[in-house]
Amino acid sequence: GQNIDQPTEMTATEGAIVQINCTYQTSGFNGLFWYQQHAGEAPTFLSYNVLDGLEEKGRFSSFLSRSKGYSYLLLKELQMKDSASYLCAPLDSNYQLIWGAGTKLIIKP
Amino acid sequence: GAVVSQHPSRVICKSGTSVKIECRSLDFQATTMFWYRQFPKQSLMLMATSNEGSKATYEQGVEKDKFLINHASLTLSTLTVTSAHPEDSSFYICSTGTSGGAPKGHEQFFGPGTRLTVL
């Protein structure tokens, strides 16, 4: 079957760094997306990885290890507006996004 | 990325009535649109994939006669919740995506969502 595993909730302090891990099992693999979703809003695109390694984009970086079925999203210099849910979504062999429940990130002052 | 709008953003209706939700792709022609439902603190659940000019493909467990999808043009798809009941209360989100080509083209662009409350 297909499965996404992320922590349900994480808490971090403003200005700090946080890493949100994701492990996945899918039927085939065609890359992995990270989306940010604020409460009551639709998801917005953050990153896409298809090759192993780290992709850096400003304060956010995303890492992928295909052999381990593992990805993480790294957020630096946390701001209060980063409080949101972060969704890990791999693409399976049919190019369908497989969604997990996401990780709710709470930023404290 | 693409810009997607949804209307209405919020709707409250009585049980037994039908509600139509519109999803518009504002700046590109969307051959494929996706309809999702999300209950509080749960993941996005794909309901159906809608292709312009053809019948939608529904996910297992989603009643096609209850959730009517029409994708009559490259910029508009509609979801009609027929005979709505309180258990249909949810956050409905549409997205558009490009199909085929490199995987990156399968990035989805989401509308702002529609909060449906059925009394």
B115 vs A contacts (CB less than 8 Å) = 40
Residues of A whose CB is below 8 A from B104: 31, 48, 50
- Round to whole Å and give the CA distance between A80 and A92: 33
Q: For A48-91, how does the pLDDT look when each residue is reduced to its tens digit (9 = 90+)?
A: 999 999 999 899 999 999 999 999 999 999 999 999 999 999 98
Q: What is the mean pLDDT of chain A?
A: 94
- How far is residue B68's CA from residue B90's CA, in Å, rounded to a whole number? 16
Q: Where are the beta strands (DSSP E) in B8-62?
A: 10-13, 19-25, 32-38, 45-51, 57-58
The CA distance from A84 to A73, in Å, is: 13
- Segment A98-109, tens digit of pLDDT: 888 899 999 999
Residues in CB range of B72: below 8 A, 6 or more apart:
B52, B53
**Using CB atoms and an 8 Å cut-off, which of residues 97-116 of chain B contact chain A?**
99, 103-104, 106-113, 115
